[in-house]
Amino acid sequence: MKILFINKFLFMNGGSETYMFSIGRKLEELGHEVQYFGMEHTGRCGGNRLGCYTDEVDFHSSGVARFLYPFKILYSKEAKRKLLRVLEDFNPDTVHINNFNFQLTPSIIYAVKKYDRQTGRRTAIIYTAHDGQLVCPNHLMQQYISGERCQKCLNGNLWNCTKYKCIHGSTVKSLLGTAEGILYRIFKPYKKIDKVIAPSFFLGEVLSHNDQLKGRIITLHNFVGDITLTEEEKIKENYVLYFGRYSREKGIETLVKACREVPEIPFIFAGSGELQEMVDRTANIQNRGYLSGRELYRLIAGARFTVFASECYENCPFAVMESLTCGTPVLCADIGGAPELLEAGTQGELFEPGNADELKSKIELLWNDRNRIKYYTDNCTEINFDTLEQYCTKLLGIYKECGREREQA
């Protein structure tokens, strides 16, 4: 099978890129042919045979080019033209779209349909939703200025984005985001997508507020990488672990406040971000900085428990999945898709996001109750997330099913 992956960034920029390139490599190992389309960028990790990509678009830059951004946000003729060239050269069976709004725009969907009309082919279009972009113009469902979690646009009134300046606190940018959302509510390009993969039931329910997606949403939780640890590496030590970004939306302010209230409990933080100074100023937190791979997995496995403190609507957080796979219980914020990944009272506990007092109490409870934490640790072995290969097998099933449905249409 030939699969063309589309994502605006073709370098390792975040979770969606890790997802896409991991799947792409595994599908190639399984004998399938894979190419990529997106923006050109230094450090690009994948590509296509033609070497054909759109020019990089940076909406934070200044200069004359920024005056053209409103048009590029709404519809990219360049993306449509160049993608059509790649499609004509590669002739994929499936186009698997990831993040595309603003830089590539829904023009890519129209490119696939034009290609099908010209060639008589019936190319399956799959979209993996990594956030709420198709129902929320700023995609986080969080007001930028206040930091308040928000679902005001789910009823279809996208003007809330402009009202609350949800995109970078800017009226102009928020107005453009609102216009983009309204425009594609009118023209309905997303009805041309065959299947939408939501990595959590939470996100699937959120996306169902867009009428174009109803009946097309499949929930498929993310995969975990190969985590193999020796018995010696799994021995528990005396610390509580947080790993991830040091930022407000990840709950760092709340977590640090709770940590300072229990100075007798040692914490290790592994990550980086704008709130690092706050982390470094806390006496009972040891900041290890950003870690990955086996070094991070050993640290996770050695913790008594980890804390997932996010205060934004998380989709299917790898941090929770990785912790449980390493045999370490999670004290988890009850938000977004995170609670779907564990059973409270069996592999960990839930707490109200942003509630430092409840978080402090739960930290003390788990730290002081050895029997409870052992029970949770033993139950982590009951959690079995898909491996990358298992996930790809399911994904290929979706590709083939969509292909058959298109042939029969």
**Strand partners of residue 287:** 269
Helix (H/G/I), strand (E/B), else coil: 160: helix
| CA angle (200 as vertex; 199, 206 as ends), nearest 5 | 110
The 10 Å Cβ neighbour count of residue 20 is 26
State the Cα–Cα distance between residues 299 and 296, nearest whole angstrom: 5
According to the model, what pLDDT value does residue 382 have?
A: 85
Give CA–CA dist 3/396, Å, rounded: 10
Provide the pLDDT for residue 70.
58
How many whole angstroms from its chain centre is CA 247?
A: 16
How far apart, in Å, are the Cα atoms of 100 and each of 11, 79, 107, 128? 14, 10, 10, 11
The residues with which 35 forms a beta bridge, in sequence order, are 4
Which domains, and CATH codes, for the chain? 2-223+387-408 (3.40.50.2000), 232-382 (3.40.50.2000)
Q: What is the pLDDT along the chain (409 residues), one digit of tens a residue?
A: 999 999 999 998 878 898 999 999 999 999 999 999 999 988 899 999 999 999 987 655 555 455 455 556 789 999 999 999 999 999 999 999 999 988 899 999 999 999 999 999 999 999 999 999 999 998 889 999 988 899 999 988 999 999 999 998 999 889 989 999 999 999 999 999 999 999 999 999 999 999 999 899 999 999 998 888 888 998 999 999 999 999 998 999 999 999 999 999 999 999 999 999 999 999 999 999 999 889 999 999 999 999 999 999 999 999 999 999 999 999 999 999 999 999 999 999 999 999 999 999 999 999 999 999 999 999 998 888 999 999 999 999 999 999 888 777 6
Is residue 251 left, alpha or beta, with left meaning phi > 0 and alpha meaning psi from -120 to 50? Answer: left
- pLDDT reported for residue 353: 96
How many helices (H) and strands (E) in the chain? 14, 12
Cα atoms in the 13 Å half-sphere on the side-chain side of 14: 10
Read off φ and ψ for residue 87, nearest 5 degrees.
Answer: -60, -45
